[in-house]
Amino acid sequence: MLDRKGRLIRLGDRLDVGDGWAVGVVVCSIDTGDYSAEHPKEAWEYLERGIMVDTDKAGLIHYTDNSQELEVIDPA
Q: Where are the domains of the chain?
A: 14-74
Low-confidence residues in the chain, pLDDT < 70: none
pTM (whole model) above 0.85: yes
Query: Which residue from 3, 33, 38 is spatially nearest to 17, judged by alpha carbons?
Result: 3
Alpha-carbon gap, residue 8 to 37, rounded angstroms:
21
- What pLDDT, on a 0 to 100 scale, did the predictor assign at position 24? 96
